[in-house]
């Protein structure tokens, strides 16, 4: 008498059910980890944009404005007496909140962060993905830009 090797239909259904339960538990955790990494990458990108704008202001001897919308879209503009001229645009890929009114700040010719049209330095921060990871980009009074 020969004995057949293999799996029964019931065994396959049980394995599929266990796999479905494991996936249902694991997928939300993976999504949360992904949002943390996305917020971190967006914060690093914004810090780079701010540092480049600051260096541009110092190199050209004129103010440079960075405006960041709540949806993460940003615009970098050279500020001239005749008006602002956009030099770069982009998206961060995450929502952004800011302590700067309207999400805008200017770097003066010396590299100090100021409010648009202002002359005195102003510190502040941008919070990236506050609903998930809450990474922050801090602009210090002396002009140092860092991620926390």
Q: What is the mean pLDDT of the chain?
A: 88
**Over 90: is that where the pLDDT of 30 sits?**
no
pLDDT at 132: 57
Q: Are 107 and 55 in contact (CB under 8 A)?
A: no
Q: Where are the domains of the chain?
A: 9-147
Q: Quick count: other Cβ atoms within 10 Å of Cβ 72?
A: 19
Q: Are 55 and 61 in contact (CB under 8 A)?
A: no
* Percent of the chain residues topping a pLDDT of 70: 89
pLDDT at 134: 74
pLDDT at 77: 97
Name the CATH superfamily for 9-147: minor pseudopilin epsh domain (3.55.40.10)
Q: Are 46 and 92 in contact (CB under 8 A)?
A: yes
Confidence of residue 31 (pLDDT cuts 50, 70, 90): low
The tens digit of pLDDT for each residue in 115-132 reads: 998 888 899 999 998 655
The tens digit of pLDDT for each residue in 43-69 reads: 999 999 999 999 999 999 999 999 999
Q: Are 54 and 111 in contact (CB under 8 A)?
A: yes
pTM exceeds 0.95, yes or no? no
3-state secondary structure of 39: helix
pLDDT at 126: 94
Name which of 23-27, 30-34, 78-82, 106-110 the model is least confident about. Answer: 30-34
């Amino acid at each position: 008498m020969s004995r057949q090797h293999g799996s029964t239909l019931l065994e396959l259904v049980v394995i599929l059910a266990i796999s479905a339960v494991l996936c249902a538990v694991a997928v939300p955790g993976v999504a949360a980890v992904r949002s943390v990494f996305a917020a971190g990458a967006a914060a690093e990108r914004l810090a780079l944009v701010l540092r480049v704008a600051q260096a541009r202001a110092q190199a050209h001897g004129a103010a440079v404005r960075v405006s960041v919308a709540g949806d993460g879209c940003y615009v970098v503009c050279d500020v001239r007496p005749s008006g602002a001229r956009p030099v770069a645009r982009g998206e961060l890929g995450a929502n952004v909140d800011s302590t700067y009114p309207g999400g805008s700040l200017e770097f003066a010719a010396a590299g100090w962060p100021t409010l648009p049209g202002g002359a005195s330095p102003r510190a502040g921060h941008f919070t990236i993905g506050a609903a998930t990871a809450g990474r922050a980009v801090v602009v210090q009074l002396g002009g140092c830009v860092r991620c926390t």
